[in-house]
Amino acid sequence: MSGENENTRKRIFTSVAQGGLLNKKSINSLLEADPSLTTNSQVMAAVKNVKGANGITFLMEAAKAGNVPRLQELVSFGANVNIQDNRGKPALAYAVEGGHPEAVRFLMSVSDTEEVEIAKLRVNMRLAKIDVDLDPRSGFKGNSQQLRAEKATLTQIHEILSAAPFPRGGGSTRKTRSRKRKTRKMKNRR
């Protein structure tokens, strides 16, 4: 009988989540109350892209924490890796900011080319800022050891982003989009 109740509870949770009636806070409360729900593929598929405060998804939280097994699990359930929070940051940006090279490596393999390029730019900007702060002429009064450690991690992440071949090519450049538009116009004229 308890197995039947558990299945009923999971079906109700799934249908409510799919209907958009749950927010991320209530989903977290339910998952804490019944951790067995996290192993149910229907439940996780229903809540994979639910956004919480500031538009942060479960995938973004896992990226920020560097939890690669959780990232793999969420992606296998169909979580959108290119979805962005309210500030325009995808999960890859959270992994970079958190300083988690393995999470960056995984997310890079499933993200659009455009997101990888943006992540590279963010890393380059942060590395440049660190170099300025570490320059003795800058008058920086913070913890230089901490900055050097952050620079080492960011350098490793930059190497990962630069060395690996581009992922599945979902992104396009402005030039490519323009070329596609021109091709469509030419076809429509015929």
pLDDT at 173 over 70: no
- Output helix, strand, coil percentages for the chain, rounded to the nearest 5: 75, 0, 25
Domain that holds residue 41: 1-47
Asked whether residue 104 falls in the same domain as residue 143, the answer is yes
The angle formed by the CA atoms of residues 31, 32 and 36, to the nearest 5 degrees, is: 55
Would you say the pTM of this structure is higher than 0.75? no
The pair of three-digit structure tokens given for residue 124, joined into one six-digit string: 């380059």
pLDDT at 109 over 80: yes
Mean pLDDT of all residues belonging to the chain: 78
Contact 66, 57 (CB under 8 A): no
Q: Please state which of the ranges 41-45, 126-130, 161-165 shows the lowest mean pLDDT.
A: 41-45
Asked whether residue 70 falls in the same domain as residue 154, the answer is yes
Asked whether residue 80 falls in the same domain as residue 110, the answer is yes
Residue 186 lies in a domain: no
The confidence score (pLDDT) of residue 170 equals 46
Asked whether residue 40 falls in the same domain as residue 73, the answer is no
Residue 91 lies in a domain: yes
The confidence score (pLDDT) of residue 11 equals 66
Q: Please state which of the ranges 76-85, 92-101, 150-159 shows the lowest mean pLDDT.
A: 76-85
127/45: higher pLDDT: 127
The confidence score (pLDDT) of residue 169 equals 46
pLDDT at 157 over 50: yes
Residue 17 lies in a domain: yes
CATH number at residue 118: 1.25.40.20
The confidence score (pLDDT) of residue 189 equals 61
The confidence score (pLDDT) of residue 167 equals 45
Asked whether residue 55 falls in the same domain as residue 33, the answer is no
Split into its structural domains, the chain has a count of 2
Q: Which long-range contacts (CB under 8 A, 24 or more apart) does 70-79 make?
A: 71/103, 71/106, 71/107, 72/106, 73/44, 74/44, 74/48, 75/110, 77/41, 77/44, 77/45, 77/48, 78/45, 78/48, 79/48, 79/49
What is the pLDDT confidence band of residue 1, given thresholds at 50, 70 and 90?
very low
Residue 126 lies in a domain: yes
Asked whether residue 67 falls in the same domain as residue 35, the answer is no
pLDDT tens, 30-50?
677 777 766 665 566 666 677
CA atoms within a 13 Å half-sphere pointing along the CA-CB vector of 157 = 33
Asked whether residue 58 falls in the same domain as residue 141, the answer is yes
